[in-house]
Amino acid sequence: MIRNVLSIAGSDPSGGAGIQADLKAFSARGVYGMAVLTALTAQNTQGVSGVHLVPPQFVADQINAVFADVRVDAVKIGMIANAGIADAVAGALTDHRDIPIVIDPVMIAKGGAALLAPEAVDVLTRRLLPLATLLTPNLPEAAALLHQPVATNRAEMAEQAERLRALGPAAVLVKGGHLDSDESPDVLATAAGLHWFEARRVPTKNTHGTGCTLSSALAAELAKGASAQEAVAIAKDYLAGAVAAAGHLTVGSGHGPVQHFHALWKEGE
């Protein structure tokens, strides 16, 4: 049976991040993708120049319309933008705790633009994190959620992963891509303890949408029945291939997108 996975996130007209990246990752991982828009952005590979938010009630209306008709096997939540939208999403998902929910706390764009209002952090923490099967912050996002300095080593990453899990998520994956190192380790905190995933840093500037892509791949694998640890291993391997093949694309002059279909497309075709 082909699984159905819903993304609740913002739009990226350049196609590398947000809803567009989510739908590509879903397709690449063999699940049927659906999308609820929380925001329209004016952005490209060089940065975000504008954001137009969808009214909170209409975000909830979109979610309710999908659930009223379609079997949803997993949900991925990306850009929430403000407290009203966070509250609306939490309310619409409260009755659907029986399916996996992956939360990628999109807070800052690659170019530095803020994508989550400060007052929304409290609502995100109180209402959405307890619904999460898996939370996937990078180092700045983990620090912002905990009101702590950004982790600079493995010990601090592990401590923050455990502290975030204490806020309600069943599992937390703290991503180490911002470490000043040739390595890019991630740590998964679950009820069973900590598990590290090792990876070498790929020397490329084409990393636009990596967080969106990873969290969507995780949601796809959870929808197919994988455990959190299994899903992370599969999704990280998929993302590594997508980043390694990013140079085959010629999209923009800034931080280009990853190649979501690296396993399906042949270069030059």
Q: Are 236 and 186 in contact (CB under 8 A)?
A: yes
Residue 207 has pLDDT above 70, yes or no: yes
DSSP assignment, residue 72? Answer: -
pLDDT tens per residue across span 156-173: 999 999 999 999 999 999
Residue 60 has pLDDT above 80, yes or no: yes
Of 230, 261, 257, 232, residue with least CA distance to 246? 257
**Contacting residues for 86 by C-beta, under 8 A, at least 6 apart:** 80, 120, 123, 124, 127, 128
Q: Decide: helix, strand or coil at residue 149.
A: coil
Residue with tokens 């990280």, as numbered in its chain: 236
What are the catalytic residues? 175, 207, 209-212
pLDDT (0 to 100) of residue 113: 61
What does pTM read for this prediction?
Answer: 0.93
Separation of alpha carbons 76 and 212, rounded Å? 9
Residues of the chain with pLDDT > 90, as a percent, come to 74
